[in-house]
A and B are shown apart, each in its own frame.
Chain A
Amino acid sequence: MQNILKKLIVLVVILFLWQLLSSSIHTIIPSPIEVFTALYNLSVQGDIFIHIFASLKRVVVGFLIATFLGVGLALITGYYKKIDVFLKPLVEFLRPIPPIAWIPIAILIFGLGDMSAYFIVFIGAFFPIFTNSFFGVSSLPVIYENIAHSFEIKNFIFVKDILFKFSLPYIFTGLKIGIGMAWMSVIAAELIGAQSGLGYFIQLNRLLLRTDNVIAGMILIGFIGYMLSLLLLTVEKIIIPWSIKK
């Protein structure tokens, strides 16, 4: 109860400040009422759902590819420790390049549209997923390797049931950061190189000078991003029952 009350107070304060701000510079900032009206109208009219779906599809595809490649590569590197030597510098070199900086090259290669967006989302999500998974894989205690050798456990089973399962909590840390990065990346990609999606939607409405729609779009972006994180958190709790204790 206490908590809900606190959240409610925060919300009221934000709305109040927002109203205050919009009253002073109304040409730029629409009032909360106007934005919520815009949100209502958009959902009644329905086009917004096409944009939401477009963005979600890109995030899901790019994120899944990043997950398979990021986790897979981490497992391979953890298993064949020798690869580490040349893979690590490559990753450390590519990692600081922000996803947005890849947009021009993505458009050149893939053109405007889904393929570019998948690629940008992939870039955004891959690095946190790979680095966290890799950290997990490389922190497998020696004792587990020893036990696996003693019991003559097959390599495939070792990777699947020991290396992978041990790393799952780390992998999920990567996935949780990765999904946030993926969502931010898709919006950025759509701002520049797409004809649909929430990023495209707010960019278009900026040109149309519909700031109420721009802010409505931003609210949707924040809300959906939050939901994506919650979804992963729920999946994590279902998949990793043994880490409840830790």
Chain B
Amino acid sequence: MLELKNISHYYRNQSRNTEISVFENFNLLIGEGEIVSLVGKSGCGKTTLVNIIAGYTEPTSGSVFMNGEKVVAPGKDRIVINQIHDLFDWMTVYQNMRLVSNDDNDINKYLSMTRLSEFADAYPYELSGGMKKRLSLARALVVDPKFIIMDEPFNSLDYQLREKFQEELLDIVRKSKKTILFVTHDIEEAVFLSDKVIILSGRPTQIKKEIVISFSKNKVDSIRDTEDFIFLKKKIKEEM
């Protein structure tokens, strides 16, 4: 359903007059309902790719297709949960939701799903890092996009919170039955959350390997300690 065809992207540095090529004829296919993780080192171009898919950045060449239709602008069918703070600071939690949806029932439903109901009248600065991410997620879910892209949503959280939110996210995402592209540099996170892990590396960045996570259907916290899980983690680490 999401297809990247022959994407090339360069960044030009005006002052030094240099050019870096982040992607060269990059191709990617994500099927409907899949939860796919994209892992790669910092600076390999993950956020660049997210911006291209979202329609924020026009690739130097190549195209993005959603259900066969070429993507020309950002739209409600693909919502990004950004790596950086993307909530409106001058609006309360409820107002942030209300900006994108007129349906109070839906707003309440997703606020309660992300356990933010009690904070409906709080401003973003009154929320913790994890709560902010949950609000971004609730705001994405309320417009019922086909596709949600998450760019390292757990970056600002400490290790224990991270695990907790990963489970929460998995739970929410399963209930909502969305197609998810999950961007991270944390291998464990990728294995835990997704049906498929795509490893990026090289310069220009290419897909090094795609790994299908077989036990994806029955994820509980305890699988983190199983041999399969640890084996997969190791395998992916070697690939990177």
Contact = CB atoms under 8 A, between A and B. Distances in A.
Interface of A: 143-144, 146-147, 149-153, 157, 161-162, 165-166, 168, 240-243, 245-246
B99 A144 contact: no
A167 to B, nearest CB: 10
A242 B73 CA distance: 31
B90 interface: yes
Contacts of B143: 151
Contact of A150 (B78, B85, B89): B78
Contacts of B78: 150
A78 to B, nearest CB: 16
Contact of A149 (B55, B90, B124, B125): B55
Given A152-B75, A157-B99, A162-B88, A146 B123 contact: no
Contact of B100 (A151, A166, A242, A243): A151
Interface of B: 54-56, 73-76, 78-80, 82, 84-86, 88-91, 99-100, 123-125, 139, 143
A246 B84 CA distance: 18
8 contacts: A143-B82, A143-B86, A146-B56, A150-B54, A150-B79, A161-B88, A162-B88, A240-B90
A161 B90 CA distance: 9
B99 A153 contact: yes
A230 B129 CA distance: 35
Given A149-B56, A150-B55, A157-B99, 12 more contacts: A143-B84, A144-B88, A147-B82, A149-B74, A150-B74, A150-B76, A151-B143, A153-B99, A161-B99, A166-B88, A242-B124, A245-B125
Contact of A146 (B74, B76, B91, B100): B74
Contact of B89 (A152, A153, A242): A242
A146 B133 CA distance: 17
A151 B76 CA distance: 5
B86 A149 contact: no
Contacts of A165: 88, 90-91
B125 A242 contact: yes
A68 to B, nearest CB: 21
Contacts of B85: 143
A238 to B, nearest CB: 14
Nearest to B89: A242
Nearest to A241: B123
A168 B90 contact: yes
Top 3 closest pairs, chain A to chain B, by CB: A149-B74, A150-B74, A245-B125
A36 to B, nearest CB: 46
Contacts of A168: 90
A213 B233 CA distance: 86
Contacts of A161: 88, 91, 99
B39 to A, nearest CB: 23
Contact of B90 (A151, A152, A153, A242): A242
A241 B79 CA distance: 29
